[in-house]
Chain A
Amino acid sequence: MSNLRLKNIAKDFYDGRNLRRVLYQTNLTFYPGELVVLSGPSGSGKTTLLSIMGLVLKPTEGAVYLNERDITNISDNQAADLRFKNYGFIFQQHMLIDGLTVLDNVLIAFAVQGKKIRNDQKNRAYQILEKLGLKEAINMQPLSLSGGMKQRVSIARALVKDPLILLCDEPTASLDAENGITVMRILKRTAIEERKIVIVVSHDSRVFPFADRLIKIENGQIVSDTREHYT
């Protein structure tokens, strides 16, 4: 079964003068088909952990395995390539590019690869946008969308590549309750129905009911890792 595995991961940062450990010996394995919520207080290392999983940050110690292949020390280009093929990202801010339409934004990962966008990629974008209730917005600019719509566009941007792994950092933090729940429903459905690894960083308690697995982190250490079923 495909998986993402962190083995003895640790991370140090320079804060001004000193090297400070913000993440201690972490061992975690993630499997498709479940929604993982990673929770903890501010500054506990959630984003750091997510960045290492997302191959945008190199760990100080330990190794990252994707489908049992060690990808800790791959080149910058190889990492970009893996991110392109296997990862979808969703952030607290929608991070849509101004000046590009909703459709352009959804297809941006393909567009910047320097190849012509294929019709099947375009069709998939249309399908996903329609599914997320954004059919009318396809040719609109991000500036003219509501917060909830923008976040859904950013989800479409992550899903269009059909990635194995979906990494979400506080995806509901800038949304109201209703939009937050919509987003979590989409993520949950993606994890279960499309059998993806979905990891959601959040300290928003509204998110917990959606978790199949809840990992708590404090001061750079995993303090609990439980599989429970909430409904």
Chain B
Amino acid sequence: MRFLVAIKMAIHDRSTTAGAVLGVVAIIFLVGQQLSVFFGLLNLMSVLPDHSVADAWVMSKNIRNSDSGNLIPSSYIDRIIGIKEVEWAEPILIGSGLFRRGDGSFEPVRLVGLKRPRITGGPWSFIQNDERALLDLESVVVDKLDLRKLGHPYLDEITEIGEKRVRLGAIASGARGFQGTLVFAPLEKVREISRTPPGRYSAILIKFIENSDKERIVSQLREILPNCSVFSSEELSKLTRNYYITNTGIGGSFLFSTSIAIMIGVVIITLTMYTSVLSRKKDLALIRAIGGRKRDIFVIVISQVLFIALLGIFIGFLLLSTLLNYTLGSQIPSYLPKEVFPALTIGALFVSLFGSLLALKVALKTDPASVFH
């Protein structure tokens, strides 16, 4: 009953209630949007280790992310496949070059060379043709969202990267990188374009046989390859994400804008809830005078806060999902893991309660004697 009374009062006070709801909506929408960009960028950062089917990566000593390392010799592959739990070990070669656009201008690209015929470490989802395109030495694969930057090449169009002839063999989706435009090509082609010496690779991707003890094999690999960095794919993904978060200012800027969004929300909620309690002071005094206890006032105010918070959370998520639907498949990276929804809900509830502390304090102090004045 207290809850109903509280809600009827809140509904009657449309403007203050709407103001407080707006505060909650702002928190959900702004923080949710920030988070989606943040997680979207995280996905780009570690796109290669996340989507390689490999269990472990071997790169040069002391790397700080998956995108930069020295070359390592191909002889390591022989040592690696000596371990009986290793199903396969495949090299990749990362290089760079200038992609010639249709209009004759150039776009710098990051080349990921994949070894035929297994071509591991490459795109995993295609919208035109598939990975078999990379069996052809001439062929390259780019992401559909990068087509614009590359001057809208059409499928099978012939162009050049680093003055070497290539053909757009397939178009992938979700294979965008954080560090420049990714172009996947056969390993020999990348070697030719970036003129790396033969027998040298950027990384070796390793797949273990099923149900093997990954940790143990990784430490075994570390023992036999003392001059290399050996990481499980998850470790490399984490390392790379941490590297970019701390070294690019993305982490700081995300924290900053999120805190601002939360602060704005808290201020709006605090002010509107305070105003709402002040405007209801006479009613609260009446409720106290006719026998309402402090705890009844507490329940009434908290009910109003919960009502406002839940309404705001609902509207906020509605707006957020509209925005996400709209940005999905656009240039703006956006991704919200499922866990974000309950976390944001709990966060918004918490922040709403925090914003109502002042109002609650005032409400609980209501003097029942004031009904007579």
> What residues of chain A have their CB less than 8 Å away from a CB belonging to chain B?
47, 50-51, 54, 56-57, 76-77, 80-81, 83-85, 87-89, 91, 95, 97-100, 104, 108-117, 157, 161, 169
CA distance A50 to B371 in the complex (A): 12
Q: Of the candidates A50, A104, A109, which one forms a contact with B291 in the assembled complex, judged by CB atoms under 8 Å apart? A: A109
Which chain A residue has the least Cβ–Cβ distance from B8? A99
Within 8 A of A (CB), among B1-48: 1-2, 4-5, 8-13
Are B12 and A84 closer than 8 Å at their CB atoms? no
Chain B interface helix/strand/loop/mixed: helix
Are B369 and A95 closer than 8 Å at their CB atoms? no
B338 proximal to A (CB < 8 A): no
Chain A residues lying within 8 Å of B371, measured Cβ to Cβ, are 56, 89, 91, 95
Q: Of the candidates B290, B293, B367, B372, which one forms a contact with A108 in the assembled complex, judged by CB atoms under 8 Å apart? A: B290
CA distance A77 to B296 in the complex (A): 11
Are A89 and B9 closer than 8 Å at their CB atoms? no
Are A76 and B294 closer than 8 Å at their CB atoms? yes
Which chain A residue has the least Cβ–Cβ distance from B7? A99
Chain A interface helix/strand/loop/mixed: mixed
Chain B, 289-333, contact with A by CB distance < 8 Å: what is the 0/1 string? 111111010011000000000000000000000000000000000
B61 proximal to A (CB < 8 A): no
Additional 7 contacts, C-beta under 8 A, given A56-B288, A80-B292, A83-B368:
A47-B372, A89-B371, A95-B282, A100-B5, A110-B1, A111-B5, A113-B291
Q: Of the candidates A56, A97, A99, which one forms a contact with B369 in the assembled complex, judged by CB atoms under 8 Å apart? A: A56
Q: Of the candidates A47, A99, A115, which one forms a contact with B13 in the assembled complex, judged by CB atoms under 8 Å apart? A: A99
Are A111 and B4 closer than 8 Å at their CB atoms? yes
Chain B residues lying within 8 Å of A104, measured Cβ to Cβ, are 5, 8
Q: Of the candidates A87, A91, A98, A114, which one forms a contact with B2 in the assembled complex, judged by CB atoms under 8 Å apart? A: A114
CA distance A97 to B11 in the complex (A): 13
CA distance A104 to B287 in the complex (A): 13
Chain B residues lying within 8 Å of A81, measured Cβ to Cβ, are 291, 293
Nearest CB of A to B112, in Å: 64
Are A57 and B287 closer than 8 Å at their CB atoms? no
Are B289 and A54 closer than 8 Å at their CB atoms? yes
Chain B residues lying within 8 Å of A114, measured Cβ to Cβ, are 1-2, 296, 299
B84 proximal to A (CB < 8 A): no
Chain A residues lying within 8 Å of B9, measured Cβ to Cβ, are 97-100
Chain A residues lying within 8 Å of B368, measured Cβ to Cβ, are 56, 80, 83
A91-B371, A114-B299, A116-B1 are contacts. A99–B11 as well, Cβ < 8 Å? yes
Chain A residues lying within 8 Å of B271, measured Cβ to Cβ, are none
> What residues of chain B have their CB less than 8 Å away from a CB belonging to chain A?
1-2, 4-5, 8-13, 282-283, 286-294, 296, 299-300, 367-369, 371-373
A84-B290, A89-B371 are contacts. A112–B12 as well, Cβ < 8 Å? no
Which chain A residue has the least Cβ–Cβ distance from B286? A95
A80-B293, A83-B291, A97-B286 are contacts. A112–B372 as well, Cβ < 8 Å? no
CA distance A99 to B11 in the complex (A): 7
CA distance A7 to B4 in the complex (A): 42
Chain A residues lying within 8 Å of B293, measured Cβ to Cβ, are 76-77, 80-81
Q: Of the candidates B2, B12, B367, which one forms a contact with A111 in the assembled complex, judged by CB atoms under 8 Å apart? A: B2
Nearest CB of A to B293, in Å: 4
CA distance A83 to B291 in the complex (A): 5
Nearest CB of B to A97, in Å: 5
18 contacts between A and B (CB under 8 A): A47-B372, A54-B289, A80-B293, A81-B293, A83-B291, A83-B368, A84-B292, A89-B290, A95-B286, A97-B283, A97-B286, A98-B283, A99-B11, A99-B13, A104-B8, A111-B2, A114-B2, A161-B291
Nearest CB of A to B118, in Å: 69
Nearest CB of B to A133, in Å: 23
A104-B8, A111-B4 are contacts. A85–B291 as well, Cβ < 8 Å? yes
CA distance A22 to B5 in the complex (A): 37
Residue in A54, A87, A111, A117 whose Cβ sees the most chain B Cβ within 10 Å? A111
Chain A residues lying within 8 Å of B287, measured Cβ to Cβ, are 108, 112
Are B289 and A115 closer than 8 Å at their CB atoms? no
Chain A residues lying within 8 Å of B13, measured Cβ to Cβ, are 99
Which chain B residue has the least Cβ–Cβ distance from A117? B1
Which chain B residue has the least Cβ–Cβ distance from A58? B369
CA distance A161 to B272 in the complex (A): 34
